[in-house]
């Protein structure tokens, strides 16, 4: 890391509401990859590496390579784990492959077609509840929204956080989405009154505290810093990245020493140490919002504010473009742009450094992207204008 590799291009498919895509998930992946390669000024035949994440990814690199007409695939990789929590660890995989010389041009992507394959937010169907499910399902703790609601409610209780803090996350996302024609919720502004009037999903989460369910794909192209400097778009350097979990991260969250947290404190420590920077140096940030409350946890865990002060930090327009000290989720995020397991946030993080975001923060030097909080293992990445 430390600027040895760079993002040379970003791309996406059209983003749809769940089930509305005309394309298959595989076709959406191909569209996003093709657009990212074109954005970089490269040819598909230049691609010799493909990386993705989620242990249920259905889009095999061999099939993608054949369909797209890539070069010989010298490297493929995948970050294990479900959901969007390991999205940024894919950059670590690609960085390692590029710096070791295993590949010269690596595509990273994520594609979802929930209309084709089913909803991710639905509780799993099981013939017999075993392990942790035997203790959770009899009480209705099955879907992700219920698990996270329990954790966030406890967090709010322990740190004196009110409902308005959650509202600020949703309002910022929707405000930014109104400037972004790619956003699914573009043209659908959200008022504070709308937020509070929306139905409860699982307290403390209203409807607008919950991420969307979408069909679509997002992709980036990474290459060496030297090569990226000669391509079509300004290179965006990978300054640092971190991923992992504490030793107890593989057990149910209810058994952890500290139940209500985003599980990001040690990832933040590693990220800042590797970057030689700190939270105060960051100009703009993209935080994964599976639910607004876990975003609050991640903002605190990563080092921007103590938990007891997180409501003050997100209030008063502080996280909204153009006047906030730390604008977050400037494309609309999972709540209002699209839910592509958070990988669309990488595209926005890169665009902020390049200077072509729809909610552009002036003179961005450091841009942070944080993957799904609340579910270990987690990951985060820091992009920079200079290597």
For residues 265 and 262, what is the distance between their CA atoms, to the nearest angstrom?
8
288 tagged catalytic: yes
Sign of CA dihedral 357, 196, 201, 156: positive
For residues 243 and 261, what is the distance between their CA atoms, to the nearest angstrom?
16
174 tagged catalytic: no
Buried b / exposed e along 49-62 (16+ C-beta atoms within 10 A): bbbbbbeebebebe
Catalytic residue, from 16, 195, 237, 288: name it: 288
Sign of CA dihedral 114, 120, 121, 126: positive
SS3 call for 1: coil
Q: What is the dihedral of CA 125, 131, 136, 137, to 10 degrees?
A: 30
Beta strands in 248-333 (DSSP E): 284-287
In the chain, what are the helix, strand and coil shares in percent, each to the nearest 5? 35, 20, 45
Contacts of 8 (CB under 8 A, 6+ apart): 40, 41, 42, 221, 222, 223, 227, 228, 231, 232, 233, 235
Catalytic residue, from 155, 174, 237, 339: name it: 339
Question: Residue 144's closest CA among 85, 99, 184, 221?
Answer: 85
Sign of CA dihedral 67, 68, 72, 75: negative
Q: Which residues are catalytic?
A: 288, 339
């Amino acid at each position: 890391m430390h600027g040895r590799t760079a993002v040379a291009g970003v791309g996406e498919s059209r983003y749809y509401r769940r089930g509305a895509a005309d394309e298959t998930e595989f076709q959406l992946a191909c569209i996003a990859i093709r657009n990212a390669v074109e954005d970089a000024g490269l040819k598909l035949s230049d691609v010799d590496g493909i990386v993705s994440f989620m242990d249920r990814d259905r889009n095999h690199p061999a099939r993608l390579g054949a369909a797209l007409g890539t070069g010989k695939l010298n490297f493929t990789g995948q970050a294990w784990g479900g959901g969007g929590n390991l999205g940024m660890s894919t950059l670590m995989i690609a960085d390692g492959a590029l710096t070791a010389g295993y590949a010269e041009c690596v595509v990273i992507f994520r594609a979802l077609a929930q209309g084709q394959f089913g909803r991710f937010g639905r509780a799993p169907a099981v013939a017999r509840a075993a392990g942790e499910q035997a203790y959770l399902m009899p009480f209705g703790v099955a879907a992700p929204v219920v698990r996270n609601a329990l954790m966030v409610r406890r967090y709010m209780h322990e740190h004196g956080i009110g409902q308005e803090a959650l509202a600020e996350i949703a309002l910022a996302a929707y405000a930014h989405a109104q400037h972004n024609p790619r956003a699914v919720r573009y043209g659908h502004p959200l008022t504070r009154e709308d937020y509070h009037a929306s139905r409860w999903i699982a307290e403390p989460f209203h409807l607008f505290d919950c991420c969307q369910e979408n069909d679509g794909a997002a992709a980036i192209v990474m290459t060496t810093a030297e090569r990226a400097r000669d391509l079509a778009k300004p290179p965006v350097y990978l300054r640092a990245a971190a991923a992992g979990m504490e030793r107890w991260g593989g057990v149910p969250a209810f058994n952890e020493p500290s139940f209500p947290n985003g599980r990001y404190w040690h990832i933040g420590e590693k990220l800042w140490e590797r970057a030689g920077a700190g939270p105060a140096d960051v100009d703009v940030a993209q935080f994964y919002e599976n639910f607004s409350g876990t975003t609050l946890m991640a903002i605190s865990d990563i080092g921007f504010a103590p938990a007891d002060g997180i409501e003050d930090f997100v209030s008063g327009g502080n996280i909204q473009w153009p006047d906030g000290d730390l604008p977050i989720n400037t494309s609309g995020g999972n709540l209002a742009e699209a839910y592509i397991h958070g990988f669309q946030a990488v595209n926005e993080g890169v665009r902020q450094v390049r200077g072509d975001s729809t909610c552009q923060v002036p003179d961005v030097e450091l841009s942070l992207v944080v993957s799904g909080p609340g579910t270990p293992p987690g990951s985060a990445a820091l992009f920079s204008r200079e290597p």
